Structure 1
């Protein structure tokens, strides 16, 4: 049942991206309503599929790369439903729809986890660790989408292509959103790392060990800590800040993809 629900969600996100992605084409006005319905259908189907997958595995489906990606894409789809209600939210909704489709499609191709969750996950700290890490990644994914749209709007302003700028958010609004999402992601990641340490020490008969995922997480934390410092404290804004968000999230995806290819798991 989950594959069918995920497939429905994937096609729905693609419809959202096709209807709302800025610069892709000039869709008719009625397609806006289609995109709105498609986003709701995709998000609901996706969340129900995640719930069924969690019941099947006996815990959050985040132990394997595929499960983590489809879960993160579900978080992003739900956030997209909320974001589309904001002023000029349709253009951002198109970018986030494309990102959700990409993550969900890749997650469907990768292993999504074992039949049953290991006993080590019975610790209270594991769901807190997993939820905070996912919330942190969600913040960084949202910052990535906002930054991509910022560069599109900024590029059109620079090239004096002003035709449909009235449908797009202002660069000041996008820059402010980028800062908020980076701060959200950084705070959640910090709590997630702390909860992960407490989870590791709570597992009986198993000494805490460092692995590639831990090193990548620490590097990621340092990258976004620097982003928070230069943006919130130093007042760094504009295209450089947008590129900082793009590079950080792309580096995260490449690093975690390399870990999965080498070790077939997170820990």
Structure 2
């Protein structure tokens, strides 16, 4: 079918607009993280735990009597302003997600197929899933002020995707003209996109626990993060959601490979790294379920899986050549 160039151009414009909106949301939410009430309250709770350990007053009234809050008459207005800016950042995040979804849909309408037939389209869909997953997380957990840390890798990935990996709208090669493109690749997109959330949560968990062990470490940053167990729950629950979907995608890829190439597995670079990532996440879930591994060791495993996912998303397609190269940069 003929490519609809007009819809393709609108899709590209919406993609660029989405990146700009995400950058604004990133700045707004980082402002809330730095100056918002949640960060201040977390720091205050951390300070009181230190005072209790040193034999100081531990009640909320004692903290007020010390003059922490009343001594700063401008603080309530500053905190309220930061929270309003944080809510604006969250609204921008929703708007960006809607525009990104529109860009994906228009790309599909322009090429008359599932809009993930090359690396540009794949990256656009993966980052969209990451943002949607994070919107679900901030609905269930009071971690909106951490949105900037999630958006930072998303914006970087989208910038790389829209510059180095951009591909003009075109039909896919015959090898991809299969219903497996919808089944296998969509499962890989959802699994990979959700995996970015526990990766970021685990990185923040390490910062939080490092501060808890030594309050002098990351003194200006660590106390403003949620409690370590909250970050651990976010990482674990997101991984539980993503892992079976990713597993399904890997299995569907093997079935498709047998139909297309006559073998289930060929140790293609992308297949190999996907399998390594699968093993890492399986080890993470298995260690928590059987060995009771929690905390730092589990977070490190999750971060390694996060690194493998990012490596497979971009580096494999940019540097190596394999059977999946037809979906790469052109």
TM-score tier (shorter): 0.7 to 0.9
The match for 1:148 among 193, 203, 206 is 203
Query: What's the C-alpha RMSD, in Å, of the aligned pairs?
Result: 2.7
1:18: which partner in 2? Answer: 27
1:101 aligned to 2:159? no
C-alpha change, 1:170 and 1:18, in structure 2 (3 Å) is: same
Measure how far apart 1:134 and its partner are: 1.3
C-alpha change, 1:159 and 1:220, in structure 2 (3 Å) is: same
1:38-77 alignment runs, 5 A limit: 38-77=92-131
Q: What secondary structure sits across from 2:95 in the alignment?
A: helix
2:5: which partner in 1? Answer: none
The match for 1:87 among 141, 147, 151 is 141
- Measured against aligned partners, the alpha-carbon deviations of 1:203-260 in whole angstroms (never above 9, x if no partner) come to 4xx4346221111112221121111111222111112222221222213323443321
Could you list the runs of 5+ residues in structure 1 that have no partner in the other structure?
Answer: none
- Tell me the TM-score normalized by structure 1: 0.86
1:248: which partner in 2? Answer: 305
Measure how far apart 1:38 and its partner are: 0.9
The match for 1:196 among 253, 277, 283 is 253
Measure how far apart 1:176 and its partner are: 1.7
Measure how far apart 1:74 and its partner are: 0.9
Contact 2:207 2:222 in 1 (8 A): no
Contact 2:29 2:86 in 1 (8 A): yes
| Separation (CA, whole Å) in 1 of partners of 2:140 and 2:221 | 18
| Separation (CA, whole Å) in 2 of partners of 1:165 and 1:223 | 27
1:183-262 alignment runs, 5 A limit: 183-203=240-260, 206-208=261-263, 210=266, 211-260=268-317, 261-262=319-320
- Measured against aligned partners, the alpha-carbon deviations of 1:41-73 in whole angstroms (never above 9, x if no partner) come to 111111100111122233333333222211101
| Separation (CA, whole Å) in 2 of partners of 1:8 and 1:197 | 37
C-alpha change, 1:133 and 1:30, in structure 2 (3 Å) is: same
| Separation (CA, whole Å) in 1 of partners of 2:20 and 2:186 | 26
Measure how far apart 1:165 and its partner are: 7.5
Q: What secondary structure sits across from 1:61 in the alignment?
A: coil
| Separation (CA, whole Å) in 1 of partners of 2:198 and 2:132 | 15
Could you list the runs of 5+ residues in structure 2 that have no partner in the other structure?
Answer: 1-9, 37-81
Contact 1:43 1:81 in 2 (8 A): no
Q: What secondary structure sits across from 2:270 in the alignment?
A: helix
Q: How many residues align?
A: 265
| Separation (CA, whole Å) in 1 of partners of 2:297 and 2:247 | 24
- Tell me the TM-score normalized by structure 2: 0.71
1:136: which partner in 2? Answer: 191
1:6 aligned to 2:61? no
Measure how far apart 1:111 and its partner are: 2.9
Contact 1:72 1:138 in 2 (8 A): yes
C-alpha change, 1:91 and 1:24, in structure 2 (3 Å) is: closer
Larger-gyration structure (1/2): 2
Measure how far apart 1:265 and its partner are: 4.4
| Separation (CA, whole Å) in 2 of partners of 1:182 and 1:20 | 24
Contact 1:231 1:237 in 2 (8 A): yes
- Measured against aligned partners, the alpha-carbon deviations of 1:106-160 in whole angstroms (never above 9, x if no partner) come to 1111134650123444433331111211122123211112112222332333343
